[in-house]
């Protein structure tokens, strides 16, 4: 299938924080790599001029390690600005003029979801939505009902094939590496199933707290913030079957099948924690029941994964900042060598951040006459020279019309169906000490006396 590139990039909320931190650096990087030479039109209701927007863009990208005045000048030459209220039809009339005949624009709604309806309706009424695409930022609702309402707002004007729901986590090089590792290596497929895999663990740990964003965090919590989106997406990449075909729709179809096979969570599957001191944060209720930690047991009802538990854990104020997957394999059916019953099983360990590491856990014979073993890891570290940022990768894909790394409406709604039972009727949070691995109750989430794999700092590679 031939994808048609967008011929103009429009971003609403051009004076906002997201534009400053992510969008301008991504656009600059795309220009630096010789990216698409199309108009870039910022829209906001700030009373700014184009000169103000240029100054904002310069402040955004000037601290980049590869900042070059000539490259920034190229970015500025493509930059346009429209100032006005999103509810005012004249704003969209000026946008129509700024598009200057562009036929396939892409509109990035870097604005609060409460403003989506006004912007989408304004685009439609002005003719700016015809043959156009739209990018929306997570969160995609805060529950199933609001996600469905958001989809109705978007679908009133844009077909699903023209809607790009951006989750920056899917654009990370490490997550892409995980997907490649799954399907580019033949040795995995024969054992990547319930016959050989005992369990799968995914930990996203952060060593810091809410960093002054208590009021924001009170509205989301760990499950809404990262489980429903980032972490369930990673599980989908780990557990999905190979796509049938090379089109982006093939990848989406397999992910959707996997999401629909995820069993909705039950209270017994989840432990919600809150670090001591969270309620002292500004903007946090003194009796807050918002979780800063979640541990859960997920089941995927497919022939490949039936009865294999998937464990997900995330939290703030944990001992380390790292995201890591561990796939534990089953032990051999017989212990041929005496005394090896206590040896750990084989495993695959995939470190997604802060560094990219792929490791295989194996047993080797210990030196000496006795047939005794010891565990070792075979480690491969992935070095990147000029890695694209997630936003650069995703914006480039959206402009080209490639939906592979974006989330479709059915997947979003299916993910909400997985977590909604424990959001609708949550169990009370359990306190845990900052710097610990969370509440003791989380140990019971792991079945049959197993234990969580705690990520550790990576040892530096030998010179």
Active site residues: 230
Q: How far apart are CA 255 and CA 236, in angstroms?
A: 6
Strand partners, 350: 325, 358
Q: Could you report how far apart the first and last alpha carbons of the chain are, in Å?
A: 46
Q: How far apart are CA 297 and CA 312, in angstroms?
A: 7
* Sequence-distant contacts of 431-436: CB under 8 A, at least 24 apart: 431/273, 431/274, 431/275, 431/276, 432/273, 432/274, 432/275, 432/276, 432/293, 432/315, 433/275, 433/276, 434/209, 434/275, 434/276, 434/277, 434/317, 435/317, 435/318, 435/319, 436/318, 436/319
Residue 453 burial (CB count, 10 A):
19
What stretches of 185-245 show up as alpha helix (H) in DSSP?
214-222, 232-239
Q: How far apart are CA 180 and CA 151, in angstroms?
A: 30
E-assigned strand segments in 45-98: 79-83
């Amino acid at each position: 299938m031939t994808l048609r590139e967008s011929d103009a990039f429009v971003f609403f909320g051009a004076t906002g924080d997201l534009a400053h931190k992510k969008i301008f650096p991504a656009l600059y990087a795309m220009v630096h790599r010789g990216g698409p030479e199309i108009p870039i039109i910022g829209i906001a209701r700030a009373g700014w001029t184009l000169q103000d927007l240029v100054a904002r863009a310069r402040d955004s990208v000037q601290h980049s390690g590869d900042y070059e005045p000539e490259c920034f000048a190229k970015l500025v030459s493509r930059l346009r600005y429209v100032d006005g209220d999103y509810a005012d039809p004249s704003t969209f009339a000026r946008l129509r003029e700024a598009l200057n005949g562009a036929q396939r624009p892409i509109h990035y709604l870097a604005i609060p979801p409460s403003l989506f309806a006004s912007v989408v309706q304004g685009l439609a009424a002005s003719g700016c939505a015809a043959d156009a695409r739209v990018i929306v930022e997570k969160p995609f609702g805060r529950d199933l009902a609001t996600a469905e309402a958001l989809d109705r707002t978007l679908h009133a004007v844009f077909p699903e094939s023209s809607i790009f729901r951006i989750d920056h986590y899917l654009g990370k090089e490490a997550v892409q590496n995980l997907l490649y590792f799954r399907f580019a290596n033949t040795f995995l497929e024969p054992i990547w199933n319930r016959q050989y895999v005992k369990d799968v663990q995914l930990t996203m740990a952060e060593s810091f707290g809410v960093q002054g964003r208590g009021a924001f965090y009170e509205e989301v919590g760990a499950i809404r913030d990262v489980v429903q989106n980032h972490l369930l997406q990673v599980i989908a990449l780990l557990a999905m079957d190979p796509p049938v075909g090379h089109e982006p729709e093939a990848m989406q179809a397999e992910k959707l099948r996997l999401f629909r096979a995820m069993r909705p969570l039950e209270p017994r599957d989840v432990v919600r924690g809150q670090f001591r001191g969270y309620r002292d944060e500004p903007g946090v209720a003194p009796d807050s029941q918002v979780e800063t930690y979640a541990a859960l047991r997920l089941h995927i009802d497919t022939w490949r994964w039936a009865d294999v538990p998937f464990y997900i854990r995330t939290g703030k104020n944990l001992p380390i900042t790292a995201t890591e997957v561990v796939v534990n394999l089953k032990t051999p059916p017989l212990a041929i060598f005496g005394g090896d019953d206590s040896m750990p099983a084989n495993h695959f360990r995939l470190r997604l951040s802060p560094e990219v590491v792929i490791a295989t856990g194996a047993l080797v014979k210990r030196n000496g006459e006795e047939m005794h073993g010891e565990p070792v890891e075979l480690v491969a570290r992935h070095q990147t020279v000029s890695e694209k940022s997630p936003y650069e990768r995703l914006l480039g894909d959206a402009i080209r019309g490639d939906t592979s790394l974006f989330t479709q409406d059915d997947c979003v709604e299916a993910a909400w169906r997985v977590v909604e039972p424990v959001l609708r009727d949550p169990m009370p949070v359990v306190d845990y000490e900052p710097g610990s691995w969370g509440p003791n109750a989380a140990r019971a989430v792991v079945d049959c006396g197993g234990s969580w794999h705690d990520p550790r700092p990576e040892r530096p590679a030998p010179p």
